[in-house]
A = this chain, B = another copy of it.
């Protein structure tokens, strides 16, 4: 008898059963009320809600997770060391959008860093244990095995910045192609004739798309694309400097530069300065990301802004849909969805 139901009024947390007894209904009915099922009469619902309030009942998540086979949690996985996470406003903006969109739901967000091998090991274990219902993946490199792992474990996932044109995961992206186009179109409209492009790392799909936008904008304006005006960078300031140096040596008469990121634009600006080139008088400069750097540069940098916060929201929307879709039946016609949000050109003094 000691081990049996001697816990009626003890200090422990109330259970569904106790709420049911208090409300004079069955366990199933309380469960329905808690989960917002419509199949409950108003009177019963009110009685149950009263009992819940009186007892201060809070559902036991572990029990629910076990019985229903879901966790009500999703993970935002950042395959980078924490340092970068804090350094780049990208993540902070993304997190804001994600948090906002999630605040209407019961879902809990986990932030997981997987920069080191050790951390990745832990993450793999974590995912294998199905401790989350879905995963948000940001900043993934082309050769990352994480997406495959997620597919194999059949965990719903949404990636920001698809890895290629044939991304298998549901993805959210900003319109890198359109962003590249708009930068170049802007420069053309300002009367620039010889526009160079410093690209990002070309194993990043988005960087490629910006190059595509650059090419097509010129082509559609009836210009010929001079491949020697396209110089690869690597998203770093140093890379921007190197590329600019090369370009300047090759084409001393260029009159505009479109850099694939603000950071690279900052590097380019230094080189231009040192060469005595005036911005924007001699050379117009346009960056990408519209980061703090752009606003604080001298002169302030025209830059392509991505709606990062909105991307965060969109990722959550897609992920929740995918989780919900998977719930009733494991099959279903899984057509992958890809959202693309448009960018905006922020025009400043540098162009």
Instruction: Show the binding face of A for B, using Cβ within 8 Å.
Output: 13, 56, 58-63, 65-66, 71, 82-83, 86, 89, 92, 95-96, 99, 103, 108, 110-111, 113, 118-119, 122, 125-126, 128-131
Give the shortest distance, in Å, between A223 (CB) and chain B (any CB): 42
Contact A58 B111 (CB under 8 A): no
- Contacting residue for A111 out of B62, B111, B131, CB 8 A: B111
10 A/B residue pairs, CB under 8 Å, sorted by A: A61-B131, A63-B66, A82-B92, A82-B95, A82-B99, A83-B92, A99-B113, A103-B122, A110-B110, A111-B111
Contact B71 A62 (CB under 8 A): yes
Query: How far is A128 from B59 in the complex, measured between Cα atoms in Å?
Result: 9
Contacts of A83 in B (CB 8 A): 92
Contacts of A119 in B (CB 8 A): 103
Give the shortest distance, in Å, between A69 (CB) and chain B (any CB): 8
Query: How far is A119 from B66 in the complex, measured between Cα atoms in Å?
Result: 26
Considering the complex, give the chain B residue whose CB is closest to the CB of A85. Answer: B92
- Contacting residue for A86 out of B63, B65, B86, B131, CB 8 A: B86
Considering the complex, give the chain B residue whose CB is closest to the CB of A13. Answer: B130
Chain B CB within 10 A, most for which of A56, A62, A108, A125: A62
Question: For the complex formed by this chain, how many copies does it contain in all?
Answer: 2
Contacts of A13 in B (CB 8 A): 130
Query: How far is A108 from B111 in the complex, measured between Cα atoms in Å?
Result: 10
Chain A binding surface, main DSSP class: helix
Query: How far is A36 from B176 in the complex, measured between Cα atoms in Å?
Result: 51
Known A66-B66, A110-B108; contact A61-B129, beta-carbon cutoff 8 A: yes
Contacts of A58 in B (CB 8 A): 125, 128-129
Contact A129 B66 (CB under 8 A): no
Contacts of A56 in B (CB 8 A): 128
Contact A96 B110 (CB under 8 A): no
Query: How far is A56 from B130 in the complex, measured between Cα atoms in Å?
Result: 13
Contacts of A108 in B (CB 8 A): 110, 126, 131
Contacts of A95 in B (CB 8 A): 82
Give the shortest distance, in Å, between A204 (CB) and chain B (any CB): 23
Query: How far is A130 from B13 in the complex, measured between Cα atoms in Å?
Result: 10
Query: How far is A60 from B130 in the complex, measured between Cα atoms in Å?
Result: 8
Contacts of A96 in B (CB 8 A): 82
Known A99-B82, A110-B110; contact A59-B92, beta-carbon cutoff 8 A: no
Contact A62 B60 (CB under 8 A): no
Known A92-B82, A110-B108; contact A129-B59, beta-carbon cutoff 8 A: yes
- Contacting residue for A66 out of B60, B86, B126, CB 8 A: B60
Query: How far is A323 from B128 in the complex, measured between Cα atoms in Å?
Result: 26
Give the shortest distance, in Å, between A347 (CB) and chain B (any CB): 26
Query: How far is A118 from B130 in the complex, measured between Cα atoms in Å?
Result: 29
Known A13-B130, A59-B129, A66-B63; contact A92-B86, beta-carbon cutoff 8 A: yes
